[in-house]
């Protein structure tokens, strides 16, 4: 071995030794706690069936708890309590289940953790939500007790929804729905047909309007950067630093709806934002613009939107609706060539589910065993004001 190689090994040794010592100490603390009888318990509140067969998906890997995540949670906790009822717990059932748990994992369809439930869970330290909004899960009492709340919204959901917003915008600009349908119907003769009076457009150098600016809109703004677009933002809370970071400018709703080529809705639905996108705003949308809604259907005056879309003046990609599934009506959204309808699947895609669970489990375990900072913590103010559906 030459001198230089020896120096390199010597230089790396303290770092490797420190990593080993850290792992050894954590392992010993865990074993000591077990010997002392201090057992960690976790309750998975959503039905076990939904966790293993997410939204009807038959791919065993595209679920929240594939086998590798089942093994992971069982290795981290002394006891894992599953909901094997095939339905939502009753209040009495849930009060019994939470008595000794340190952590609760929730998802779509989980019970709200009301005062009655919180009072029955003296050891509860953290609640982890595998889905987006926690508004229907959390309560004032949960936060007042000091229970930490974490979720996948900022770390996984928001980026995936932003990806969908970008894809939807480009699909509509290039009229991929019309092109695909025409080629299927006309086969090779459709090649010339799709080019008649159908100017396809790209996203580069467009003006994009963001209605509200949360985690999803920020990811979307980041994804738009390579396309040298002009971004206008309607937000009451966005900082000057954020505007500068993504080269954006503040704008009123009226300015966004009357000047932007792409209008992307990112507003949470609550009693203050219902029908916020009014008939008057919809009438301002310019010719050939694209309206994209990946937020919630109820932030838009839906009947007014349908009437405006019937004029053919602009295009829309709608992932969310007032009622889901959106009911068919003759001459309605399903029949409009300038509308792309998506069945509320903006994000996250199913291949992300195992990653979401794995990351959330790491956060729970790190917090309970080492009091590690929580990267996906949801504050009381934010949790209670998130979209309610």
Confirm if 347 and 168 have CB atoms less than 8 A apart. no
Asked whether residue 56 carries a pLDDT value surpassing 80, the answer given is: no
pLDDT at 122 over 70: yes
**Best CATH choice for the domain 158-341 from the list 3.40.50.300, 3.20.20.70, 3.40.50.720, 3.40.50.620:** 3.40.50.720
d(CA 220, CA 235): 15
In contact, 293 and 384? CB cutoff 8 Å = no
| Confidence at residue 94, expressed as pLDDT on a 0 to 100 scale | 98
Strand bridging mode 248-250 / 148-151 = unpaired
pLDDT per position as a tens digit, 19-54: 666 666 665 555 545 434 458 999 999 999 889 876
| The listed CATH number (3.30.1490.20, 3.40.50.720, 3.60.15.10, 3.30.43.10) that belongs to domain 39-152+351-385 | 3.40.50.720
Residue 287 pLDDT: 97
For tokens 């595998």, name the residue: 130
Higher pLDDT, 51 or 292: 292
Higher pLDDT, 30 or 128: 128
Over the Cα atoms of the chain, what is R_g? 25
For range 56-84, the mean pLDDT: 91
What is the model's pLDDT at position 35? 39
pLDDT tens profile 252-276: 999 999 999 999 999 999 889 999 9
Q: Is the pLDDT of residue 147 over 90?
A: yes
Q: Exposure of 161 by Cβ count < 10 A (0-12 exposed, 13-18 middle, 19+ buried)?
A: buried
pLDDT score of 389: 60
Beta strands in 77-234 (DSSP E): 79-83, 103-106, 126-129, 148-151, 207-211, 230-234
Q: Which helix (H) or strand (E) holds 316?
A: strand 315-318
Q: Using pLDDT thresholds of 50, 70 and 90, give the confidence band for residue 347.
A: confident
Q: How confident is the prediction for the chain on average, in pLDDT?
A: 91
The yes-or-no verdict on residue 119 having pLDDT over 50 is yes
pLDDT tens-place string over residues 191-243: 888 888 777 899 999 999 999 999 999 999 999 999 999 999 999 999 999 99
The residues assigned a catalytic role are 296, 324, 344
Q: How much of the chain, in percent, has pLDDT values that exceed 70?
A: 89
Q: Is the pLDDT of residue 11 over 80?
A: no
Confidence of residue 4 (pLDDT cuts 50, 70, 90): low
Q: What is the pLDDT of residue 14?
A: 65
> Whose CA is closest to 63, among 80, 78, 42, 44?
44
Is residue 123 within 8 A of residue 103, CB to CB? The reply is: no
Residue ranges covered by each domain of the chain: 39-152+351-385, 158-341
Note whether 39-152+351-385 and 158-341 share their fold: yes
Q: DSSP letters along 95-110, please?
A: HHHTTT-SEEEE-TTP
Worst-scoring range by mean pLDDT, 20-29, 79-88, 102-111, 282-291?
20-29
């Amino acid at each position: 071995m030459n001198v230089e190689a020896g120096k390199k090994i010597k230089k790396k040794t303290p770092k490797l030794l420190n990593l080993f010592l850290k792992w050894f100490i954590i392992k010993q603390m865990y074993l000591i706690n077990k010997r002392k009888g201090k057992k960690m318990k976790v309750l998975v509140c959503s039905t076990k069936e939904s966790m293993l067969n997410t939204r009807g998906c038959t791919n065993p890997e595209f679920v929240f708890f594939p086998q590798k995540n089942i093994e992971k949670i069982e290795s981290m906790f002394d006891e894992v309590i599953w909901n094997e009822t095939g339905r939502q717990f009753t209040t009495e059932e849930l009060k019994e289940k939470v008595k000794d748990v340190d952590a609760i994992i929730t998802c779509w369809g989980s019970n709200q953790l009301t005062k009655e439930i919180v009072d029955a869970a003296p050891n509860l330290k953290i609640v982890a939500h595998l889905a987006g909004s926690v508004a229907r899960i959390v309560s004032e009492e949960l936060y007042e007790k000091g229970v930490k709340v974490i979720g996948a919204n900022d770390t996984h959901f928001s980026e995936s929804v932003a990806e969908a917003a970008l894809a939807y915008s480009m699909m509509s600009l290039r009229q991929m729905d019309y092109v695909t349908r025409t080629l299927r119907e006309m086969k090779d003769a459709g090649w010339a047909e799709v080019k008649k009076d159908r100017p396809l457009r790209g996203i580069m150098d467009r003006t994009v309007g963001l209605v509200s600016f949360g985690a999803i809109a920020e990811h979307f703004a980041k994804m738009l950067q390579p396309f040298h677009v002009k971004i206008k933002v309607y937000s009451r809370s966005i900082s000057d630093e954020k505007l500068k970071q993504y080269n954006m400018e503040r704008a009123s709703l009226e300015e966004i709806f009357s000047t932007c080529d792409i209008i992307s809705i990112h507003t949470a639905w609550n009693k203050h934002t219902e029908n916020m996108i009014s008939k008057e705003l919809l009438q301002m949308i310019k010719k050939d613009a694209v309206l994209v809604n990946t937020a919630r259907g109820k932030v838009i005056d839906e009947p007014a939107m349908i009437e405006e879309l019937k004029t053919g003046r602009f295009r829309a990609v709608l992932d969310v609706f007032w009622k889901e599934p959106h009911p068919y009506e003759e001459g309605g959204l399903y029949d409009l060539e300038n509308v792309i309808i998506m069945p509320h699947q903006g994000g996250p895609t199913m291949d992300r589910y195992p990653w979401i669970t794995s990351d959330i489990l790491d956060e729970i375990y790190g917090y309970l065993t080492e009091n590690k900072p929580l990267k996906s913590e949801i504050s009381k103010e934010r949790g209670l004001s998130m979209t309610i559906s």
